Amino acid sequence: MATGPQKSAAADLPLAGLQAVSKSFDGVRVLDRVSFDIRAGETHVLAGENGAGKSTLMRVLGGVYPDYEGTIRLGGRPVRFASPHQAALRGIAMIHQELSLIPALPVVDNLFLGRERAAAGGWMRHREQRREAAERLRQLGADLDVTRPAGDYPVAVRQLVEIAKALVFRSRILVLDEPTSALNAAETRRLFAIIRGLRDAGCGLVFITHKLEEIYEIGDRLTILRDGRTVATTRPCDLPRDELVRRLVGRDLAGQFPARRSQPGAVRLSVRGLSLPDPANPRRRALEGISFDVHRGEILGFAGLRGSGASELFQALFGVYGPVRSGRAALEGRPYVPRSPRRALAAGLALLTNDRKGNGLSPRLSVAQNITLASLAAYSPGGWLRPERERAAARAYGGALGIRMASPDQEIRTLSGGNQQKALLARWLACRPAVLLLDEPTRGVDVGAKHELYGLMNRWTAEGLSIMLIASELPELLAMADRVMVLHRGRITGLFERAEAAPDRVLKAALGVSCA
């Protein structure tokens, strides 16, 4: 894969080096004299808990935060970028967890945005751009129609478009922030093959992840941050798993998953024969004849490959698609017809979406405002909003869920991805639901916060809450769910009690072999 200059044995200097970098927000220091370097021909994993400073450090490197203390060197020479564009011109590509493509623009225009090819007189070289875009994507194993809007393609393909954009810019340093958070196992393997090809071609890659297995699989070196400071830089193979976890979270965990003791009660939500047209293609069905019960105090897990229909089921029950006209449901023994999110909340259902950027966060609002957004009536006695009550609620939920924030008044977009996720979870808990629909609740959440969240789920169900859980990580689903329902192309192909839910049986059902 010819993507850049080949490695040279004489090149002793790192591609980039950050020395004693510090950064503060509103007087709170989030990076404290951190040093980090990136070498040609290596994948350097950057790990740590949510709020440890990983993304902030990379945004300093990428020119997003030009006001910092310390030094950045490229090829041994000091630099200071005033903008991401300046960093990109010097060969640094940032591929964020929340992809930065413009969905409505064609793939080719996304690839050349900000660096369009123009002939004399300012005329665009559209044919040349289309040819190079197609070639760069073919290098990554993607044969796409580059004239189609980027938003037409799934997340895994859009990720490749982001990488192709870096190749168009001839970047030698690529920073990938949680690139597998929305990918399935097959898509992750393909991405790793591409990363190895880029590494072998002489690029330096920074790979930010919370998944322990990925650290060992893809990392040549590992740097761990905690509370804005460097804990260790080493080779992953030299760090046993238990020691890695201890350094990441600063304490020993009693196990990846807490023991679950459940005693499900009476049926709380009953669904019979629910069918749903595919929102993207009304001529086919996203769901076909779905029937199940959820009990009080139970975690009902949902498994399936991408496109299985699990997320569509959650959204249909939450009223995202309007009235569901095929099938029936009952909540607490009373008929329940999904019509809108507002009615779903009033009935006792709440949904944590798997897309916090697209339809979860209100990025310009504060942490407190985001947490209370769905339950404003509780903070508005007499119709007058009481901001002090919002702040008090945010502090209470922040303490209960371990949300790292300088103040409830700071914009939520300034939090790390995992802390944003916990703030969204607090929003729905504030509605005091009877049934909580969790679609990938641990996506982008560090190992310590995951462990805390699992414990909270156990506590909530012990108090009587019913949880419906989608998790792409099968060990997580099998450890936390009392029962596992498997979907394949909108149909149920398996329903397993906890003791029966072996990985091979679940995967077989996910591939469409009925076990119901």
Q: How many beta carbons lie within 10 A of that of residue 470, not counting itself?
A: 22
Residue ranges in the chain whose pLDDT is less than 70: 1-11, 97-99, 251-256, 514-516
Domain with CATH 3.40.50.300 in the chain: 16-91+172-249, 267-348+433-510
Beta 16-25 vs 69-74: how paired, if at all? antiparallel
Rg (CA), the chain: 24
Gap between the Cα atoms of 396 and 452, Å rounded: 16
| Paired sense of beta strands 435-439 and 466-470, if any | parallel
Instruction: Write down the pLDDT at residue 514.
Output: 60
CA distances from 225 to 207, 248, 326, 406 (A): 13, 7, 51, 19
* Cα atoms in the Cβ-side hemisphere of radius 13 Å centred on 251: 8
pLDDT of residue 255: 62
CA angle in degrees (0–180, nearest 5) for 349-458-456: 80
H helices present in 42-201, as ranges = 54-61, 84-89, 107-112, 126-139, 155-168, 185-200
Q: Which CATH architecture has domain 16-91+172-249?
A: 3-Layer(aba) Sandwich (3.40)
Please give the pLDDT value at position 253: 57
Q: What's the maximum distance between 2 C-alpha atoms anywhere in the chain?
A: 74
Per-residue pLDDT at 463: 93
Report the SS3 class of residue 26. Answer: coil
Q: Looking at domain 267-348+433-510, does it have CATH number 3.40.50.300?
A: yes
Instruction: Indicate the burial class of 405 (C-beta count within 10 angstroms; 0-12, 13-18, 19 or more).
Output: buried
The per-residue pLDDT for range 443-499, each reduced to its tens digit, is 777 777 788 888 889 999 999 999 999 988 888 899 999 999 999 989 999 999 998
pLDDT score, position 270: 97
